[in-house]
A and B are shown apart, each in its own frame.
Chain A
Amino acid sequence: MFEFFRNLDRRWVFLAMLLAVALPILLGARFPEDPSPMVRSVFEAIDNLPEGSRVLLALDYDPASEGELHPMAAAFTRQCALKNHKMYFMTLWPPGTVMVQKQITMLEREFPDYEYGIDYVNMGFRPGYEGPIKLIVTDLKKAIAADVQGTSLDQIPLTRDLKNIQQMDLIINVSAGYPGAKEWVLYASTPYGIPTVAGTTGVQSPLLMPYIPNQLTGMLGAIKAAAEYEQLLIDEYPQLKENRQAQEALRRMGPQLVAHVFLIVLILIGNAIYFIERRRSR
């Protein structure tokens, strides 16, 4: 046994990891989630806004992190729609346009009464990293003249009277890196006092912790927080209980649990081999 693990071909590790992730997905393993105070603070930041509030949804991520961030973005969009908030979508990442489009497709499917231009608008992608943020905080139309379909923002009821994003009641940023939540905090929420919440990858969340709670009201870090958020959303809005799309993060917690336990087992085996070898060499 010792020799087997000592000379273990890494392809066996890869195969075991594949099974650790695939089996819980195939078996539909689900676990209960208890929302943390941080997740509750994000939920309340959106839920406590009066109906019809203006919310900017900046989705700054790409397909690489879609698995982790799409459930958060979808949960935020659903909650805003359930609260009848007015949504302004935009992205600072070129592949983010498709991520925004996915939320809009979801809105069209699940909330057919929500009307484009009246309840939500897609302002698309703007190049220049944090540059567009610096501009839209004082003059939105100087940076974004038209929506993603080329219609002038002056012709869209939702944006006609919008001068800048200081008029937003909340900024929701879902981001996987630069430009992302940090830039929104530095150039929009901190200097102009716009309430902001964020959803980020597990890798990025420790970097954003120093901004909570003053500059960022709250943050969802990684798929675990997304799952807790979905649970909270289902508890508050029971109509989502039958909606499988609204439980994507909850479903992903099964593979995460098995994969994490598998990693711990691997580390323990690796260390056992290390200590046995060290004792033998003495």
Chain B
Amino acid sequence: MKRTVPLIIAATTGFVLIVAYFIPYTETWGETAMAWFNIIAAVAFVLGGFNLMKNQLQKISDRRPGWGYAAVTLISFVITLFVGLAKVGVTPSETYPEYPWAGAYDQEGAAFWWVYEYLFLPLSATMFAMLAFYIASAAFRAFRAKNVEAVILLITAFIVLLGRTYAGVWLTSWVDPLAAQFESPFMSQLITGLRLDRLTGTIMNVFNLAGMRAITIGIALGVASTSLKVLLGVDRSYLGSGDD
């Protein structure tokens, strides 16, 4: 039962959505299914919150390695949730001044805004910015021209790295005057295309595009076959391994 009911719900919803796409009469069925999905997705946030609290509390009570981080996660979660739900520091909105809770939870100057602006935002940006340092270190230690493929990759990387800045234009500024000296349009066009920023465009629009199209079509076919397997109940791995 634990597996059959979810299977029926998934298959019915999936087929309704497929049918709704092709038959206009059933379009509203698809809309209803999507409205349900959106409500379930919103409820999933609540479940996610409880799950996070359960896991972190378990880690702390068991004194597992790194339980201090779990405590920080839990405290941060509870504080953010509280200041957001209680609208700490929020001033009433202009539309409904008589209701103190009518202001937006993320209003400028409110506690939630403060947490977001001065904690979450700089921490997230810092984590992402650290990539530059690790990329630099990795490039120095690991990016070696060990074989032909690696050499091709290196040359492409150099062209794209330079082509995505003014350095590419400046270093190959001689290309356009040189191209102008050729009377043959073919030669002229060929040489013009050697400017690093244009070469970067060629790499992206020709080589990358061809590869990406092939990969995208492959993925789409894979998704279609996997979806059919799920809808027909052939693939039940998403239900977990629990017994009926």
A contacts, CB < 8 Å to B: 8, 10, 13-14, 16-18, 21, 31-34, 36, 38, 62-67, 95, 97-98, 101, 105, 126-129, 131-132, 134-135, 138-139, 142-143, 148-151, 191, 202, 205-207, 209-210, 221-222, 224, 253, 256-257, 259-264, 266-267, 269-271, 274
B125 CB contact (under 8 Å) in A16, A63, A128: A63
Question: Is B224 close to A, CB under 8 A?
Answer: no
Q: If A129-B41, A263-B136 touch, does A142 touch B212 (CB 8 Å cutoff)?
A: no
Q: Contact at A269–B38, with CB atoms within 8 Å?
A: no
Q: Contact at A267–B143, with CB atoms within 8 Å?
A: yes
For the complex formed, measure the closest distance between the CB of A32 and the CB atoms of chain B, giving whole angstroms: 7
Q: Contact at B208–A128, with CB atoms within 8 Å?
A: no
Provide a sorted-by-A list of 29 A–B residue pairs whose CB atoms are within 8 angstroms. Answer: A10-B141, A32-B166, A34-B169, A64-B128, A67-B125, A95-B116, A105-B108, A127-B42, A127-B44, A129-B41, A131-B37, A134-B17, A134-B34, A143-B35, A148-B104, A151-B95, A191-B21, A206-B204, A210-B209, A259-B132, A259-B136, A261-B165, A262-B136, A263-B135, A263-B136, A264-B162, A267-B158, A270-B142, A271-B143
Q: Contact at B120–A263, with CB atoms within 8 Å?
A: no
Cβ contacts under 8 Å, B102 to chain A: 150
Q: Contact at A132–B38, with CB atoms within 8 Å?
A: yes
* Most interface-central of B35, B45, B162, B205 (chain A CB within 10 A): B35
For the complex formed, measure the closest distance between the CB of B108 and the CB atoms of chain A, giving whole angstroms: 8
Question: Is B133 close to A, CB under 8 A?
Answer: yes
Q: Contact at A260–B165, with CB atoms within 8 Å?
A: yes
Interface size class of B (residues with CB under 8 A): 35 or more
| Interface majority SS (helix, strand, loop, mixed), chain B | helix
Mark out the residues of chain B between 128 and 183 whose CB falls within 8 Å of any chain A CB in the assembled complex.
Answer: 128-129, 132-133, 135-137, 139-146, 154, 157-158, 161-162, 164-167, 169
Q: Contact at A64–B124, with CB atoms within 8 Å?
A: yes
A127 CB contact (under 8 Å) in B41, B129, B204: B41
Cβ contacts under 8 Å, B27 to chain A: 138
> Whole-angstrom distance between the alpha carbons of A239 and B208 in the complex?
38
Q: If A98-B106, A207-B212, A260-B161 touch, does A128 touch B42 (CB 8 Å cutoff)?
A: yes
Cβ contacts under 8 Å, A257 to chain B: 165-167
Question: Is B89 close to A, CB under 8 A?
Answer: no
Q: Contact at A266–B42, with CB atoms within 8 Å?
A: no
> Whole-angstrom distance between the alpha carbons of A56 and B240 in the complex?
39
Closest residue of chain B to A128 (Cβ to Cβ) is B41
Q: Contact at B164–A266, with CB atoms within 8 Å?
A: no
Cβ contacts under 8 Å, B144 to chain A: 270-271, 274
> Whole-angstrom distance between the alpha carbons of A33 and B116 in the complex?
34
Cβ contacts under 8 Å, A151 to chain B: 95
For the complex formed, measure the closest distance between the CB of B113 and the CB atoms of chain A, giving whole angstroms: 8
Q: Contact at A142–B139, with CB atoms within 8 Å?
A: no
Question: Is B78 close to A, CB under 8 A?
Answer: no
B212 CB contact (under 8 Å) in A127, A209, A256: A209
> Whole-angstrom distance between the alpha carbons of A2 and B157 in the complex?
25
Q: Contact at A17–B208, with CB atoms within 8 Å?
A: no
> Whole-angstrom distance between the alpha carbons of A66 and B121 in the complex?
9
For the complex formed, measure the closest distance between the CB of B21 and the CB atoms of chain A, giving whole angstroms: 7
> Whole-angstrom distance between the alpha carbons of A151 and B95 in the complex?
10
Closest residue of chain A to B145 (Cβ to Cβ) is A271
Closest residue of chain A to B41 (Cβ to Cβ) is A128
> Whole-angstrom distance between the alpha carbons of A77 and B169 in the complex?
29
Question: Is B73 close to A, CB under 8 A?
Answer: no
For the complex formed, measure the closest distance between the CB of B160 and the CB atoms of chain A, giving whole angstroms: 9
Q: Contact at B140–A269, with CB atoms within 8 Å?
A: yes
A266 CB contact (under 8 Å) in B21, B45, B136: B136
Q: Contact at B165–A131, with CB atoms within 8 Å?
A: no
Closest residue of chain A to B130 (Cβ to Cβ) is A14
Closest residue of chain B to A68 (Cβ to Cβ) is B128
> Whole-angstrom distance between the alpha carbons of A63 and B140 in the complex?
28
Q: If A266-B136, A270-B143 touch, does A135 touch B21 (CB 8 Å cutoff)?
A: no
Question: Is B1 close to A, CB under 8 A?
Answer: no
Q: Contact at A138–B139, with CB atoms within 8 Å?
A: no
A267 CB contact (under 8 Å) in B108, B139, B166, B169: B139
Mark out the residues of chain B between 88 and 109 whose CB falls within 8 Å of any chain A CB in the assembled complex.
Answer: 93, 95, 102, 104, 106, 108
Cβ contacts under 8 Å, B2 to chain A: none
For the complex formed, measure the closest distance between the CB of A195 and the CB atoms of chain B, giving whole angstroms: 21
For the complex formed, measure the closest distance between the CB of A102 and the CB atoms of chain B, giving whole angstroms: 10
Cβ contacts under 8 Å, A264 to chain B: 158, 161-162
Q: Contact at A256–B164, with CB atoms within 8 Å?
A: yes
Cβ contacts under 8 Å, B140 to chain A: 8, 10, 13, 266-267, 269-270
Besides A259-B132, A261-B161, A270-B140, 4 other A-B contacts (C-beta < 8 A): A10-B141, A127-B41, A264-B158, A267-B157
